[in-house]
Structure 1
Amino acid sequence: MIELPLSALEVSIVQDGATPADALRNCAGVSAGLSRLGYHRLWFAEHHHSPAIGAFPPVLMAAHTAATTPGIRVGSGGVLAPNHAPITVAEQFATLAALHPGRVDLGIGRGPGTFHEPTARALRRGADPATDEEYGRDVAATLDFLVDVALGELPEPWLLASSDAGAELAASLGLPVAFAHHIRPANTLEALGRYRDAFRPSRWCERPRVLVCVETVCADTEEQAAELARPMDVIKADLLAGRSERPFPTPAAAAAHAFSAREQEAVAAFVTEQARGTAATVGAALAKIADATGADELMLVTPVFDPAARLRSFELVRGSAAVQA
């Protein structure tokens, strides 16, 4: 039994044969469903120039969801600091928090949000990737500007991390950390240990707070869950092999995909660290991750082709958990 708040990360899947506009509509429908199911917060990820994920700015998605969907907290998971001027991020989220007090989170991350080098350089206006020092300064500046431009209640800032460096930056700034277990599960335990050891209380957070994001696919049978998850397994295999991204494959195309032995091994190793299967299997996996990490909250990312099946996965997990608001 999972006795933690459950939240969701939306990555705006663009299915093969569909358009980004379709993905945008699907995202809105899933968001409304998550609110009805009682999920605590919904974050939107920043991506660019991807055939599989829509390039929808998190602040706009959060604003639309806050205006159209009652109850659920909204935010970014995350806004990628190297791509934006700190004062712009602060102004956008301070405004959003003033319009929807008590409901807005500002999750800040580092990556470029794209595997396409010209797009990454365009986002940086031709500059090289940010160094650790530059990134740290950008995050600190964003927090300072948040206070300067406050219009009332501030958004709740979080730092996204997938490594020791990100976790240690969160600790030094006294921020809650959202750890990307769904991206680099091998880093999770050591990084969170360093975060807790180095944490310094701040105006933002008095004690270490940990959210762990887990790839979660749940269905009525183990076989159905495997079928639903296979398209994302194809995407993962491409990324592990250094191949270009493709539109999110249909279940039929994914079923016909032949994995190499190396790809099968890599995907299988990743899957064992996530949560996939029936409600009972997923519940046990999530409880195990929560116990190992000492998480205060779990966030589920569910990259499933069909929006109805994606929402059904969230419903099954929600129904099997003793969820705290």
Structure 2
Amino acid sequence: MIDLPLSALEVSIVEAGTTPADALANCHAAARELDRLGYHRLWFAEHHHSPAIGAFPPVLLTAHTAASTPGIRLGSGGVLAPNHAPITLAEQFATLAALHPGRIDLGIGRGPGTFHAPTARALRRGADPATDDEYRRDVAATLDFLLDVALGELPEPWLLASSDAGAELAAELGLPIAFAHHIRPANTVAALERYRKGFRPSRWCEAPRVLVCVETVCADTEERATELARPMDVIKAGLLNGHGETAFPTPAAAAAHRFTEQEEAALAAFVGEQARGTRETVAAALSRVAESTGADELMLVTPVYDIAARVRSFALVRETFSDNKVVSDNVSE
């Protein structure tokens, strides 16, 4: 049993056969249930021009959810600095922090949030992708503007990373780090070692602080967990082959999909670093991640088709790690 805060990342899946409006409704329903289950924080990811993920601005989802939930911390995981003016990010999240004191996080990331080159350029008003130096300046400027526009209590800033470079920037700026183990698990341990070694205390964080995000699919049986995770496996296989994103498939379509031997090997290696299976299997996997990374907090991302199955997964994990054995009476697989 591990004794760490459990949090959640919402990627706003648009399931095949549904609409973006359905995805928004699912986000809201999941947020309310995560709050009731006692999850520590919920972050919303920024994506654009994706057939599988809604293009819902994290700041708007944060504002809407904060107004309709009583306790869970909320924020971006993350807003992508190259797509926004630093002063705009500071004003938006400072306002949210003033409206909802003690509940707002500003997680900042780097990627464009899209595989569609014209959309990436449009987000940058035609500019080329941000360089390392430009990204560093944007993050530093956002932090400076937060102090200038503060309306009282500040949001809690985090730096999202999936590489050594991101870990080094978080250490240099003295920020807590949220590491994308669910994207690049092979980078996690070494990058976090660099982060801890290079960390400089700041007004934002006195000592290294690590959140690790893990893809987590929990069900009553191993077979059910595999079934639930298969649509996302289809998406990953396409990305491995450079096909870009496709619509998030139904379980039936995913079950009919056939992976190549190379895809199966790559997926098996990835799954081995995540948490998938029954409560016992998932608990053991999360414990291994926590031990190997020294995480202070675990964040779960659960990209499965069907809101009821998704929330059920979160409930089963929470039940496993909660002294109060809180489970949802409202959802089922």
Q: Distance in 2 between matches of 1:297 and 1:322?
A: 14
Q: 1:270 is matched with which residue? A: 270
1:182/1:214 contact within 8 Å kept: yes
Instruction: Tell me the CA shift for residue 2 of structure 1.
Output: 2.1
SS in 2 for 1:259: coil
Which 5+ residue runs of structure 1 have no aligned equivalent? none
Matched, 1:234 2:234: yes
Task: Tell me the amino acid that sits aligned with residue 89 of structure 2.
Answer: V
1:168/1:194 contact within 8 Å kept: yes
Q: What are the equivalent positions in structure 2 for 1:276-315 lying under 5 Å apart?
A: 276-315=276-315
Offset from partner CA, 1:17-65 (integer Å, 9 cap, x none): 1111110001100110100100000000000000000000000000001
Q: Distance in 1 between matches of 2:269 and 2:291?
A: 20
Instruction: Tell me the CA shift for residue 246 of structure 1.
Output: 1.3
Offset from partner CA, 1:303-325 (integer Å, 9 cap, x none): 0101000000000000001479x
Q: What are the equivalent positions in structure 2 for 1:82-231 lying under 5 Å apart?
A: 82-231=82-231
Task: Tell me the amino acid that sits aligned with residue 48 of structure 2.
Answer: H
Which 5+ residue runs of structure 2 have no aligned equivalent? 325-333
Task: Tell me the amino acid that sits aligned with residue 308 of structure 2.
Answer: A
SS in 2 for 1:120: helix
Matched, 1:67 2:67: yes
RMSD: 0.9
Q: 1:76 is matched with which residue? A: 76
SS in 2 for 1:229: helix
- What is the TM-score normalised by the length of structure 2? 0.97
Task: Tell me the amino acid that sits aligned with residue 133 of structure 1.
Answer: D
Q: 1:23 is matched with which residue? A: 23
Q: Percent identity?
A: 80
Offset from partner CA, 1:88-128 (integer Å, 9 cap, x none): 00000000000000000000000000000000000000001
Instruction: Tell me the CA shift for residue 244 of structure 1.
Output: 2.8
How many residue pairs match? The answer is 324
Q: Distance in 2 between matches of 1:93 and 1:2?
A: 32
1:5/1:323 contact within 8 Å kept: no
1:86/1:142 contact within 8 Å kept: yes
Offset from partner CA, 1:101-156 (integer Å, 9 cap, x none): 00000000000000000000000000010000000000000000000000000000
Q: Distance in 2 between matches of 1:107 and 1:320?
A: 27
Q: Distance in 2 between matches of 1:33 and 1:240?
A: 33
Offset from partner CA, 1:253-288 (integer Å, 9 cap, x none): 000001011111111110000000000000000011
Q: Distance in 2 between matches of 1:210 and 1:322?
A: 21
Q: Distance in 2 between matches of 1:204 and 1:37?
A: 29
- What is the TM-score normalised by the length of structure 1? 0.99
Offset from partner CA, 1:231-266 (integer Å, 9 cap, x none): 000000000000131111000000000101111111
Q: Distance in 2 between matches of 1:99 and 1:322?
A: 30
Q: Distance in 2 between matches of 1:104 and 1:44?
A: 12
Q: 1:44 is matched with which residue? A: 44
SS in 2 for 1:289: helix
Q: Which runs of 4+ in 1 moved over 6 A?
A: none
Q: Which has the higher contact order (CA 8 A, sep 6+)?
A: 1
Task: Tell me the amino acid that sits aligned with residue 306 of structure 1.
Answer: D
Q: Distance in 1 between matches of 2:241 and 2:37?
A: 37
